[in-house]
Structure 1
Amino acid sequence: MSETTPYRALGEPFLAALQALATAPHGGWWADVLADPDLLLAVRDRSLNVYYRGASLFRITPAGAGVSAETHVKYLVRQRQALTRLGQDGGFALDPGTAVWTRYEGPGTLAEMKRAAAALSGLEKAGVHALVKASPNVVDVEIALTGAPMEAAAAEREGAEADAMLLAPDTEASATPTPAQTRRDRLDAASLEDRGAADEAWLVFHEAKLAANPSLRSKTTPAIVTQLARYRATLTEQADRLAQSYLALCHDLVRLDALRGAVRTARGLAAMPTLDPLVDEVARGARRLRVDTEPRLVVFGFDTDKRDGALKAVIDELRGQHSLQVYAVGRPSGRTTAAFRRPADAA
């Protein structure tokens, strides 16, 4: 694959197969996914991920003229409180069919998969999910890019380890350098932005952190500074390829959004919030897509008192001393305005 080949596109045959599956007798699971407003669809290279609170509930790929889907077994554990007896032979008196889903049996299965994912997701991922849902200009989540080599890379803490650190916010995050290496960078979200030129739209990448995340604080250089420097190098190196790939991605998102709307209409459900008009304009070629190589930092999970107190000093240092673009958005739940936007547009 050349450096200018779109690598975030489903392709017409796959899109057609997804459309056919939505009304096929065996496609109930896919129609349920499309109808569920809590789920996020992320376009990959000839595949589609279905996310809930940072967890990929399904990875969907082409299979001949049809569609194949896979999920992790941990999302199939039935969310029930029940006891089982341990026998003297070491066996549990348990019917596997009552402990895990062995077949997809309709919306109830999907609902329990979501509950299983919620129990496993971290505080930060749950918050990011809520922010994305309130931001119709977001076009991608959980974005993995092949990172540019860096002389120093901060060790990132994710998942359970990150949550454990959040319970002790005074713990200082390390920015200890590691040898130069090529690695996979993972950014939280990408959004489109109008900056006043009628024929342009900007693609912007974001990293989101809870206000209590220790990577925002350090007596020397906070780990987030090194992390965003690495992302900046990657975005600069891949800017042309990203612009072409996200043009294709916007085209696919418009098709998927129309399919979601059709499924909800057929089920008599209310319409979901529509995509930002910029997505359609980029997809139609009405706007040229440009890539902002400066990643944004979104800080969330705080109230007014914290914003005006110790957190203000932290954000002021990140903005002033380290020249980061920081947008402090408060609490993620109940938002009615987009979280992923320019810091200058903050309410």
Structure 2
Amino acid sequence: MSETTPYRALGEPFLAALEALATAPHGGWWADVLGDPELLLAVRDRSLNVYYRGASLFRITPAGGGVAAETHVKYLVRQRQVLTRLGQDGSFGSAPSQAVWDRYEGPATLAEMKRAAVPLAGLEKTGLHVLVQTSPNVVDVEIALAGAPVTDAAAEPDGSEIEAAQLASETTTTARLRQDRLDVASLEERGVAGEAWLVFHEAKLATNPALRSRTTPAIVEQMKRYRATLKQEAERLTASYPALCRDLVSLEALRRKARTDRGLDVSDLLQRDPLINDVASGRRILRIDTEPRLVVFGFDADQRDKSVQAITQDLSGTHGLRVYAVGRPVKGTPAFRRPSDLQSDAT
């Protein structure tokens, strides 16, 4: 793969297969996914992830001329309050099908998969899901990028990382390669008609211990890594995200058709920012902001005026981070738009 080959795109054959599946007799599960406004569709390299509160309920891939999907069994546990008897031989009296879904049986199955994901998500992922769901300019979530080499001191993972660092070299150097995972990517305009900016965000609850320390908070090193990774990957991101935006436009059309075919109100779906269409069509040139932003959320006015203000001032003033404190994650919270006091450099 060349450095400028798009690596976040579904491809026309896969998109065509997804479109056909939406109306196929065996595609009820996919039509349910498309019609559910609470689910996020994230474009990957020839695959698609379906997210709910940070949980990947489905990973969808091309299979021959069709589509294959997989999920983790933990999302198939039936959400029922049912007792079962323990026999003298140590066996439980209930059949496996009473404990887990062994086949997809329509919207009820999808609803229980979502319910199974809730206790596994945690407050941070739950809040982030709300913020993303009300942000029409968001184009990607859970963005895994090949990390730039870092020293051992900076490579220690903090608790927020999802994937472990990978050893990169058999030489005597202490450098490592990691896979960094940023929470959100969004588009914004900055006064130039023919441009759009791709911005990456890391979101943290205000109570996250990575935000505070008597020396250097862990988030500072984390954002330093992300900055290096974005600079390293900027060319590939520029090549890839217009294709991703085109896929989002196509998926949005599928979602609207799925709801219309079922007599459901399409206004329940998030109306995408016109910037996405502009980047998809080439009307705007995409530029990459290599300075990641830190979004701090999950606090009230009293906490903002006390502890949160001290945290954000330390992170921005002492450590030079671009911090945006947004309060509670509710509908309309502008978490991923450009604050007027933030200035960023481009690549």
TM bucket, shorter chain: over 0.9
Aligned positions of 1:89-104 closer than 5 A: 89-104=89-104
Match of 1:172 in 2: none
Aligned equivalent of 2:281, options 280, 284, 295: 284
3-state DSSP of counterpart to 1:309: helix
Q: Kindly state the Cα deviation for residue 273 of structure 1 after the two structures are TM-superposed.
A: 2.2
Aligned equivalent of 1:296, options 269, 275, 293: 293
Q: Kindly state the Cα deviation for residue 157 of structure 1 after the two structures are TM-superposed.
A: 0.4
Preserved contact between residue 138 and residue 340 of structure 1 (Cα < 8 Å): yes
- Higher mean displacement: 84-93 or 290-299: 84-93
Match of 1:274 in 2: 271
Across the aligned residues of Structure 1 and Structure 2, the Cα RMSD in angstroms comes to 1.5
3-state DSSP of counterpart to 1:299: strand
Q: Does 1:206 align with 2:201?
A: yes
Preserved contact between residue 184 and residue 202 of structure 2 (Cα < 8 Å): yes
CA distance in 2, matches of 1:142, 1:14: 21
Match of 1:83 in 2: 83
Preserved contact between residue 53 and residue 118 of structure 1 (Cα < 8 Å): yes
Q: Does 1:343 align with 2:329?
A: no
- 1:120-176 C-alpha deviation (Å, 9 max, x unpaired): 11111111100000101000001111100011224220489xxxxxxxxxxxxxxxx
Q: Kindly state the Cα deviation for residue 180 of structure 1 after the two structures are TM-superposed.
A: 2.7
Unaligned runs of 5+ in 2: 163-173, 343-347
- 1:215-266 C-alpha deviation (Å, 9 max, x unpaired): 0000110000000000000000010100111111000000000110111111
3-state DSSP of counterpart to 1:10: coil
Query: Once superposed, which parts of structure 1, at least 4 consecutive aligned residues long, lie more than 2 Å away?
Result: 343-346
CA distance in 2, matches of 1:215, 1:62: 39
Aligned equivalent of 2:315, options 315, 318, 334: 318
Aligned positions of 1:4-153 closer than 5 A: 4-151=4-151, 152-153=154-155
Unaligned runs of 5+ in 1: 161-178
Q: TM-score, normalised by structure 1?
A: 0.92
- Higher mean displacement: 187-196 or 87-96: 87-96
3-state DSSP of counterpart to 2:340: helix
Match of 1:174 in 2: none
Q: Does 1:223 align with 2:225?
A: no
- 1:6-26 C-alpha deviation (Å, 9 max, x unpaired): 010000000001001111111
CA distance in 2, matches of 1:133, 1:105: 26
Q: Does 1:157 align with 2:159?
A: yes
CA distance in 2, matches of 1:227, 1:308: 26
- Could you tell me the percent identity over the aligned residues? 72
Q: TM-score, normalised by structure 2?
A: 0.92
One-letter code aligned to 1:129:
H
Match of 1:307 in 2: 304
CA distance in 1, matches of 2:160, 2:193: 39
3-state DSSP of counterpart to 1:278: helix
CA distance in 1, matches of 2:178, 2:84: 44
CA distance in 2, matches of 1:159, 1:79: 29
Match of 1:176 in 2: none
Preserved contact between residue 121 and residue 159 of structure 1 (Cα < 8 Å): no
